Amino acid sequence: MDEAGCQPARASAGTMGAMSGRFQTLHVEHALTTDRVATELRRAVFEGELESGTPLREIALAESLGVSRPTVREALAVLVAEGLATREPHRGVSVATPRAESVRDVCRARQVLEGAGIQAWRSATPDARRRVRATLDAYTAAVRADASYEELNERHLSFHVSLVELTGSTRLVQMADALMDELKLALAQVDRVRRNAHDQADSHESLVRLLEADEVDGEAGAAGFLRRHIADAEVEIIEALDLQ
Amino acid sequence: MDEAGCQPARASAGTMGAMSGRFQTLHVEHALTTDRVATELRRAVFEGELESGTPLREIALAESLGVSRPTVREALAVLVAEGLATREPHRGVSVATPRAESVRDVCRARQVLEGAGIQAWRSATPDARRRVRATLDAYTAAVRADASYEELNERHLSFHVSLVELTGSTRLVQMADALMDELKLALAQVDRVRRNAHDQADSHESLVRLLEADEVDGEAGAAGFLRRHIADAEVEIIEALDLQ
DNA sequence: TCGCCCGGATTGTCAGACAATCTGACAAGA
DNA sequence: TCTTGTCAGATTGTCTGACAATCCGGGCGA
């Protein structure tokens, strides 16, 4: 039921936009220009073209994107609502600056959402269970194929979202998507140096093996595994941010 | 959580330039009109003035609120982002219609978020623990004082949010707030008939007693209590909706 | 009856304008 | 020199007016 094209084109734009390459301006059929602009801005943020803290001037964006200022304003409001940018009254919108505290908060929230997914493993639909395996396989395949940094990120985070999908709640999945977008923003600010952190595919394989063996609870089960995994990711990202 | 409803005194916008004493533009809570409009629309939705499905015409709203159409559009975008309204391309924005499925989904999500709060009881800050007790007391006091339906709702849901605050995660609290807003929307559509459902204060008292006794886990503990409580609320709301 | 076209209504988007406010720099005074 | 007041430029928040695209309901013809 997640694949059924629900009406809010915005939700899927977040996860699909970064993967779908660069044909945004041409191929979108009846996409409203506001969404187009928002998607373009998201892409620029995720790919690090816009550094954290960069002010997003309405007039400059309107001219460079070939749209009007009200349209830009609406798109900026979307970005702000998603937490990817911040607005200060009369001082405009700028790219959000991920602080260590916000990374900790995001990871605490991930802990809850993904943990709920794992707890729901036994009662989850076979479809959702298959999807966990599928997203993991896609991730490991991308790792072996030496895919781009952005694609690895995308597939890695998609796997974690698929854990939340085990709960069967579209709202929880939406929340997880928003959290992942914030992480993508933070990761985009990290210098390209640590792009090699993606040999964790094996770790995820172990996690899914535990699930498939129905070893869910406890510190030795999938739950504990996930807790450690997210905690590791947290300190890793924070360290990367701290040393700029 | 509701700020003092500041109706900004924007009376005479025309005749101000010619006089002498022109500095001293006091910094009163510079409420942007977009936020004012969004707040007003939210209030109208929560108090049932706008029935579910009512189309929100931009021009009509602009005239009746005394603002321009772009401002209304921005406010509507906020409502849509919050899930209180839905936009269909080229057909405009209308008040969201809570379906049984969405209520189920909201309750599933609440189960996860509030459950996480309860699990975090022992590790929560004393401040957060006190807040749970405080919001409960405020709720029961309102019940005894025979407060208005809206106020009872507000305090009831505030209590549930305070459970999520035990996690210490601002993002989880934000998510809970959004869920509660959706519930408020659904409850606003329910006819006033079942306003008597608010003798549950005792039930909440039992829940907090379990927490304060550190009896968290298990079906006999606070966790199980919460699960049953939310499940009950779910069927209650859905039944109320189904019989229109 | 069914399908097609049409005019009104509404949205999506644009252009231009203005006041309020913030920023940065420069001049005046201690 | 350091502080302070003022000012011009830049930017936002909001308004007005306009236009094309699209959707809706109704009349027309087959």
Distance CA A113, CA A165 (A): 9
Closest CA to A181 of B171, B168, B166: B171
Query: Please, are residues B128 and B165 in contact by the beta-carbon 8 Å criterion?
Result: yes
Q: What angle do CA A148, A149, A152 make, to 5 degrees?
A: 85
Global model pTM greater than 0.75: yes
**pLDDT of amino acid B218:** 86
Cβ of B78 and A77 within 8 Å? yes
Distance from CA of A90 to the nearest CA of B (A): 10
Cα separation of A122 and A100, whole Å? 35
Distance from CA of A39 to the nearest CA of B (A): 16
Q: Closest by alpha carbon to A114, among A168, A61, A164, A64? A: A164
- Interchain proximity A81–B78, CB inside 8 Å: yes
What pLDDT, in 10s, does the model give residues B1-31? 333 333 333 333 332 333 333 323 333 344 6
Sheet containing A55-56: which strands, arranged edge to edge?
A: A55-56, A92-95, A85-88
CB contact under 8 A, A74 and B77: yes
Q: Which nucleotide is nearest to A89 (CA to C1')?
A: D12
Q: How far is CA B97 from CA A58, A144, B150, in A?
A: 34, 47, 19
Confidence of residue A1 (pLDDT cuts 50, 70, 90): very low
pLDDT tens digits along A164-178: 999 999 999 999 999
pLDDT digits (tens, 9 = 90+) for B172-203: 999 999 999 999 999 888 765 565 565 677 88
Under the banding of pLDDT at 50, 70 and 90, the label for residue A134 is very high
Distance, CA of B46 to CA of A196 (rounded, Å): 50
Query: Which structure tokens are listed for A142?
Result: 């991308």
> In chain A, pLDDT over 70 holds for what percent of residues?
83
Q: Supply angle C-alpha A193, A194, A196, rounded to 5.
A: 115
pLDDT of residue B203: 87
Distance CA B176, CA A59 (A): 36
Q: Are A209 and A203 in contact (CB under 8 A)?
A: no
Give residue for tokens 């919050």: B82
Q: E strands, chain B, where? A: 55-56, 85-88, 92-95
Q: How far apart are CA A137 and CA A142, in angstroms?
A: 8
A105-117 burial code (b ≥16 CB/10 A, e <16): bbbbbbbbbbbbb
Element (H or E) spanning A240, and its range?
helix A222-242
CB B211 within 8 A of CB B222: yes
Average pLDDT over chain B, rounded to an integer:
84
Does the structure show a pLDDT above 70 at A188? yes
pLDDT value at position B21? 30
Per-residue pLDDT for A5 more than 60?
no
DSSP state of A30: S
Compute the distance between CA of residue B223 and CA of residue B118 in angstroms, rounded to an integer. Answer: 7
Residue A51 phi, psi dihedral angles, 5° rounding: -70, 155
What are the DSSP E strand ranges found in A53-187?
A: 55-56, 85-88, 92-95
* Interchain contact A106–B (C-beta under 8 A): yes
Give the CA-to-C1' distance from A87 to C22 in angstroms. 14
pLDDT band at B243 (very low <50, low <70, confident <90, very high): low
The answer to whether A75 touches A164, Cβ cutoff 8 Å, is no
pLDDT digits (tens, 9 = 90+) for A50-84: 989 999 999 999 999 999 999 999 999 999 999 99
Mean pLDDT along residues B134-146:
93
The string of pLDDT tens digits covering residues A88-128 is 989 999 999 999 999 999 999 999 999 999 999 999 999 99
In this prediction, residue A148 has a pLDDT band, given cuts at 50, 70 and 90, of confident
* Torsion over CA: A57, A63, A65, A66 (sign): positive
Of A81, A115, A169, the CB nearest to B81: A81
| pLDDT given for residue B242 in this prediction | 76
Give residue B149's pLDDT band: very low, low, confident or very high (50, 70, 90): confident
Query: How far from the centroid of its chain's Cα atoms is residue A164's Cα?
Result: 13
What pLDDT is attached to residue B195?
A: 57
Distance CA B58, CA B81 (A): 17
Q: Count residue pairs from A and B with Cβ separation < 8 A.
A: 63
For residues B149 and B47, the answer to whether their CB atoms sit within 8 Å is no
Give the pLDDT of residue B190: 79
Residue A55 backbone dihedrals phi, psi, to 5 degrees = -70, 140
Evaluate whether A31 touches A67 at the Cβ level (below 8 Å): no
Q: How far is CA B42 from CA A17, B1, B37, B79, B130, in A?
A: 31, 14, 9, 7, 30
* pLDDT level of residue B161 (50, 70, 90 thresholds): very high
Within 13 Å, how many C-alpha atoms sit on residue A45's CB side?
A: 32
